[in-house]
Amino acid sequence: MKANIRKSFLFNLGIILVLCLLLYIAFFATLKCITRHGQEVMIPDVRGKEISAVTAMLKQMHFEVSIDSTFEPDVKPLTVLKQVPDTGSIVKEGRTIFLTVNRVVPPQVAMPELVNLSFRSAEMLLRNNKLKMGDTTFKPDLAAGLVLEQLYNGHPVKQGDVIPQGSKISLVIGDGMGKNTFNVPDVVGMTVDEAELIINSNNLQYNILPADQSTSIADTASATVVSQIPLPLNDAGEHNTIKAGSIISLMVK
């Protein structure tokens, strides 16, 4: 009886050892296939290429593709901006390649406040908000080098107005008081509207004061200029001169 049990135990043990050996051999025989050893591929550089062509190429190389999007105003829509893993990485077939592409429709952004900033600061703020610098013009003003106006599509745009990223913002920059002097224009006797046209055409500024401090002006635009500072002529009857950007005070009633 004991001899039979021992033979049965040894027989079963032998079977178990043989099975373990076969499994060991099978495991290492299939390990190369399971891990795709020898099927490694170098990631190509797909940045700057159109997404549909890139996707087709990567799938032909047996990669999976995951696509996300962002917006860069200076890049063509549907262009690959970023890839992970990076160019030149060695990976196995079947790996997922993560691509970031440029959006077709730009997102909206709130217009920042540029007025009274230097040109360099305004340019940096536009770039940080993914807005483009449009035309830059100069206007005689005491605030030399500072932004006087910000324009979108030729019209003033206020801080907080929502516009598409990538939009061009034009700036009007103060150019100091001007290098040349000219005769002070005579606007006495004109309405404020008429005087404003003359003053603006000479790149001057103005402020309005009531001729009589005890009264208020109901309609400033149609009020009449009764005096101005500086005057067109001095006490000797000669023309007073003024620089572009200077201020003329208008006394009206």
- Per-residue pLDDT 10s for the chain (253 aa) are 555 555 566 666 667 777 777 776 765 555 455 544 546 788 899 999 999 999 999 999 889 999 999 999 989 999 999 999 988 888 888 889 999 999 999 999 999 999 999 999 999 999 999 999 999 998 877 788 899 999 999 999 999 999 999 999 999 998 876 667 889 999 999 999 999 999 988 888 899 888 877 666 767 777 899 999 999 998 888 999 988 878 899 999 8
pTM: 0.56
Structure tokens at 32: 């190369």
Residue showing tokens 């008081």 = 177
Please check whether residue 128 is in contact with residue 111, taking contact to mean a CB–CB distance below 8 angstroms.
no
Please check whether residue 17 is in contact with residue 25, taking contact to mean a CB–CB distance below 8 angstroms.
no
Q: Which residues contact 212 (CB under 8 A, 6 or more apart)?
A: 253
Spelled out in words, what is the top-level CATH class assigned to the domain 110-174? alpha beta
DSSP-derived secondary structure letter, 147? E
Q: 181-252: what fold?
A: Trypsin Inhibitor V; Chain A (3.30.10)
In degrees rounded to 5, what are phi and psi of residue 171?
-120, 145
Q: Please choose, from the candidates 123, 49, 42, the residue with its C-alpha nearest in 3D space to the C-alpha of residue 88.
A: 42
Separate counts of helices (H) and strands (E) for the chain = 4, 16
Residues in a beta bridge with 155: 152
Q: Which residues contact 10 (CB under 8 A, 6 or more apart)?
A: none
What 3-state class would DSSP assign to 247? strand
66 to 99, 129, 187, 190, 194: CA distances (angstroms):
6, 27, 70, 70, 65
Spelled out in words, what is the top-level CATH class assigned to the domain 40-102? alpha beta
DSSP-derived secondary structure letter, 118? B
